[in-house]
Amino acid sequence: MRALVIVLDSVGIGSAPDAAAYGDDGANTLGHIFEHAPNLCLPNLFSLGLAELLKIEREDSSPKGSYARMRERSAGKDTTTGHWEIGGVILDQPFATFERFPDELVHAVESETAVRFIGNCARSGTKILEELGTEHIHTGNPILYTSADSVLQIATHEEVVPLERLYDICRVARRHADHFRIGRVIARPFLGVAGNFRRTTHRHDFSMQPPRTILDAIREHGLAVVGIGKISDIFAGQGITESFPTGSNVEGMAQIDKLWSENRDGLLFANLVDFDMLYGHRRDVAGYADALKKFDNWLGNFLSKISLDDLVIITADHGNDPTFRGTDHTREEVPLLVVYNGDSGSLGIRSTFADVAAALSDYFELPRPWPVGTSFLGMIAA
C-alpha cells in the first residue's frame, strides 16, 4: 500500500470563515490569480475537481477525482501549523511572532555562539540583504531578522561564514527559541555582491519538535515515511524514515517521480515551496501562475502512474494571495483533491486539515484510528 501527499505551499482557494480575525478578509490566492491571468488553464487540476471548487466552467464537466474545501482549525496561518494539522495535530495556541526579538533571547544565542547579530527587525528576505548585506560582509556579523510568520531567520554570506557554522548558530538559536514558542529558526545563506545579493538553495529550517503525528503512527506500523522538500525540517525529523531535500518545485516533482517508480509501500510526503517562497511572498502574480501551470503539466503525466489501490492527496497548508496587501501568508481555505479507487465526487467542506491524517490512518489500516479528524475514504468508497 502506498500513499502520496503533495502540499502545494500557500495555494489557498478563498478566505476562511475566520479570516477577518487575521486581517485577511477578502484574500483568495487562486481566485485572484485567475482574475489577473484569465488565460491560465490547469486542465489536470481541474479534472480532479479544482474547477468545481473554484466554480470554473470547463468542457469536460465530470471530475475524475474527489474534492473538498478544507478549513484550518488550528490558531495561526504559518507553514508549521498547517503541516502539523495535516499530520493530525491541532494547535489551540498560535506560535509567537515578533517585530523585534527580546534581548534575553538574542543575548543568550550571542553568548553561546560568540557572535554579535545585526538587524533584529521585521523585513522581507530581499530587503534585509539590501540594507545589511554589505555590513555583514565587512564585519562578519550574522543578520538576524523575522517576518509576519513565527520565524527567527539568520542570514550569512557563504563566503564569509561557512554553511556548517551558520547551521550550528541556528541549532543553538533553536534551543533558546523553544522557550519563546517560535515555530521555526531558518538558516538563510546568500551569495553575491552589493546590489546583486541572492539567496542560495542551502536554506535549512529548524522547527520545534511536534507532538506525536500520523507520521509517527505510520512509521511505528513498520512502513516507510519519506519526506520530500522541507517536510523533514517542518517535523524536526520526527516520524520520518528518509528525507530528500530539494531546491525547487522542479526538483521536488522529479524526486516524487523517482521514488514513486520504486513502488515501495508507505507514505511519500512532499512540499513544493516555490509557490510560497518565490511568488506569494514576493507578490509575483505572473510567476505564481507560471509555477501552477508547470505543476499542472507535470501532474498530467503523473496521473497515468497511479493505480486504483494507490492513495494520492493534493492539498495546501495556508494561502499567500499575491494580490493582497503586505507580504504575509493569508488565512484561507485550501483545496483537497483525492485520487483513490477510481472514484470521484464532492467530499463537502472539511472542518480540519487533520482529516488527511485520519484518512491516512484509515488507508494504512493502523491498529488505532487517528483520534483527530474524520476520514473521507468511506465517502469515496460509498
Q: Quick one: three-class SS letters along the chain?
A: CEEEEEEECCCCCCECCCHHHHCCCCCCHHHHHHHHCCCCCCHHHHHHHHHHHHCCCCCCCCCCCEEEEECCCCCCCCHHHHHHHHCCCCCCCCCCCCCCCCHHHHHHHHHHHCCCCEEEEECCHHHHHHHHHHHHHHHCCCEEEECCCCEEEEEEECCCCCHHHHHHHHHHHHHHHHCCCCCEEEEEEEECCCCCCEECCCCEEEECCCCCCHHHHHHHCCCEEEEECCHHHHCCCCCCCEEECCCCHHHHHHHHHHHHHCCCCEEEEEEECHHHHHHHCCCCHHHHHHHHHHHHHHHHHHHHHCCCCCEEEEECCCECCCCCCCCCCECECEEEEEEECCCCEEEEEECCCCHHHHHHHHHCCCCCCCCCCCCCHHHHHC
Q: What is the pLDDT of residues 181-210, one digit of tens each?
A: 999 999 999 999 999 999 998 999 999 999
Q: What is the pLDDT of residue 301?
A: 96
Q: What is the pLDDT of residue 86?
A: 98
**Torsion angle (degrees, nearest 10) of CA 275, 279, 283, 286:** -100
Q: What is the pLDDT of residue 132?
A: 96
Residues 6+ apart with CB under 8 A from 17: 71
Cell representation of residue 371: 483520534
Where does residue 126 rank: exposed (0-12), middle (13-18), buried (19+ CB within 10 A)? Answer: middle
Q: What is the pLDDT of residue 380?
A: 83
Phi, psi for residue 325 in degrees, rounded to 5: -65, 150
Residues in the chain predicted with pLDDT less than 70, given as ranges, are: 59-61, 381-382
Contact 245, 257 (CB under 8 A): no
Domains recognised in the chain with CATH numbers: 2-93+209-381 (3.40.720.10), 103-207 (3.30.70.1250)
Contact 210, 236 (CB under 8 A): yes
Q: What is the pLDDT of residue 290?
A: 97
Q: What is the pLDDT of residue 62?
A: 74
Q: What is the pLDDT of residue 300?
A: 96
Q: What is the pLDDT of residues 136-154, one digit of tens each?
A: 999 999 999 998 789 999 9
Q: What is the pLDDT of residue 64?
A: 87
Where does residue 282 rank: exposed (0-12), middle (13-18), buried (19+ CB within 10 A)? Answer: middle
User: Edge-to-edge strands of the sheet including 66-70?
Assistant: 242-244, 224-228, 266-272, 2-8, 311-315, 334-340, 66-70, 345-350
